Chain A
Amino acid sequence: MSKLLRKLASSIAHQADPQIHVVIGSEFSDEESPSLVPAVPQTASAEIVEPSGKIDPVPVGTPNTSGFSYFMDGMERRRLVMYISGIPVVYGYAAAGIRWRGADKRMYAHGDPSEREALFCPRRLLEQLFFDLDIDVVDIEDAGSALEDHPMIFLEAAKKKVSDIRSKLEAEVTSRWLAEFDGSNEWLLVDGSISGNYDQYPAPNIVGVVKSHQTQYFPIEDQRKIQALRVGERSGLFIPKGRNRPDVYSWYLRLWPNEGQDLHFGLVRVEAPKCDRTVRMVDEISRWLLAERAPLSMPDSRWDRMLYPIRDCEQFLRSRAPSKTVLDAILMRFAAGRG
C-alpha cells in the first residue's frame, strides 16, 4: 500500500496538466465508530421482547470464561489527495478482517483481511482522465443522481462512499465466516451492529457490540433505567426498529461502573440474531462479554466499551493500512514529477 497511488503517479505524472493540484501533508480521516452507526444523534423505536415485558435490569450472573473465539472489525481511512480542475479526489482505504483466539489465548489472523483502496470522485467530471488508467475509481454519485458541483458536497459524498465500502467489506467477511463455521460451536464477536447474511441461518453464532449510543430507542423513563444499570446487569431484550436490515435481538449491558463518569461509561448495546436461542443465552452471552473485559484495552480512549480482542483486530488492520508518511512520499514524488 498504496499501489494505487503509485500507479496513478506513474501514469499521469508525465501529463503536464496545470489543472492537477496535488495536496500534500493533509491528515488522514479515520472512521473509528462502526459504520452502521448514524453520524448524528437520533431516536428510534423498539419492541421489548423480554419475557417480563420490561426493560428493567436483569443480573446476568458471575462471568467465567468467554465463548467467543473469533473477532471481526473494520476500518477506513480517507484523505484528499488532489484537485483536478477544482474537483476534489479522495483517496480511500477500507478493510475488514477476523482474528481468532487460539487455545494459548493468543490472537492470530484468520486469513487475510479484505481490503480495498480507491480514488473517490464524481466520475462524470473526471472520466476522461482516469478512463485508460488501470486503477480503482469509485463514483461518489449514485446512478442517475448528480450532486451539486460543490467541492464540500463532493467530499461529504466521498466520505459516505468510503464508509459504504467498509460496511460492505465487513458484511462480506462476516458472511464468509458464517458460511465457514455454520454448524460449529465457534462464536464470532463483531465490532458494532451485526451485518452480513446472518438472517439466512436459523441460529448463527454471531454477536455484535455497539459502543456508540447515537440512537436512543426508549423514552426517557426507560432510558433512565438503562443508564442506571450496574456492572453485571443487562436491560430487557428488545428489537430495535427503523433499520433497513433484518431484525436482531438487542440489550444493554454495563461492563464498568460509571460512578464519577459519563452515564454511558461502560455501557454497550449488544446485538444477536433474532432467534429463540438468543433468548435462552442472553445472560450467558452477557457473561462472556463481561469476561472479555480483561485484559483492559488501555490505552484506547474507549477502553470502557472496547473489548480487547476487538482492539487487537483494529490494531492488526491499522498495521496494514497505508501510513501518512508513505502517502506523503508518493504524493511528493507525484508533485515533483509534475513540476
Chain B
Amino acid sequence: MPLPVRRLMASALDRLVDDSLRRRHARLDLRLNAYGYDRWGASRDDMLRSLALMRWLHETYFRVETHGLHHVPEGRCLLVANHSGQLAYDGMLIASALFFDAEPPRFTRAMIERFFIHTPLVGATMTRLGQITGIPANAERLLTEEEAAVLVFPEGARGGGRVWSERYQVLGFSQGFLRLAKRAKAPIVPVAFIGGEEMCPSLSRGRPLAKLLGTPYVPIVPWGLPLPAPVKVRIHFGAPMRFEGTGDEEDDVILPEVRQVEHAVSELITHGLEEREGIFT
C-alpha cells in the first residue's frame, strides 16, 4: 500500500483509540521494546488501531456474546476452535472476546496459515498485530517462554474454506496441536464459534480459481465478495482438558486423544446451536 494511504488510514484509526482502550491494552502481559515492538513483531500502535476497529465489530456489528470465559486458565493455554467464516473473522472475534470480555484482558496469538504470511502486506499486517506463522516451534516458544494463550484451528484451510453443506461439522483435526500441548504442558481449551457459517456462507471452494491464484481456496459467496453479514456471534469456551505425556507418543495413543478434543468442540457447537434463538438475534 502506498505510504501516504497507510498514514491516512493510521491517523483515521488513531482517532478511534481512546483512553479506556489504552488502559485495557496496558494491562496485557506484553514485552515491548523501546520502539513499541515485541520480539515477534507485534506493534503497540498497530494493535491499538486494530483493537479500536475490533471493538466496533465486537460490540456493534457482530454483537458478540461470550460464554464460559472462566474456563480459560491463567498462564499458558492452547485454544482449539472450529474454523469458519472464510476470512479470519473467527480468529479475530475470539481474540476480541478474550480482550474485551475476559478479566483480566488476555492477548491471543493465533497461528496463521503459512500462505498468508507469504502474502505481501497481509503477512506484515498480521505480524504487527501479534499473529504468528503456524509453525509448532513458534507456538511452543510462546507457550513455554511467554505463558501465552495460543489459538489454533486444527482443521486448517479445510475448515477455513468450508462450504455451506459442511456447516458446523468438525471436519477432522490434524494431530499436531495435541503433540504441541503435551510438549509444552499446556491445557487445551475447546472453543466453539457460532455464527461464522451464516456470516459468510460459501457454495464452493473455487478450486480451479484457487489453483490459478495459488491460494488454498477461493470462497464463492452469494453476494460476491467474502464480506460478512451482520449475524450475531456466540463464542463458547469449554472446560480445559489436560493430557499427560511428552508429545512423542505413537499415533495410536495420540489419535484417540485428538478425537476427544474434536468431540468436546463438537459438543460445544451442538450446545451453542441449541441455545441460540436466531441467526441475527
Are A and B part of the same complex? no
The residues of A with any CB-CB pair to B shorter than 8 Å are none
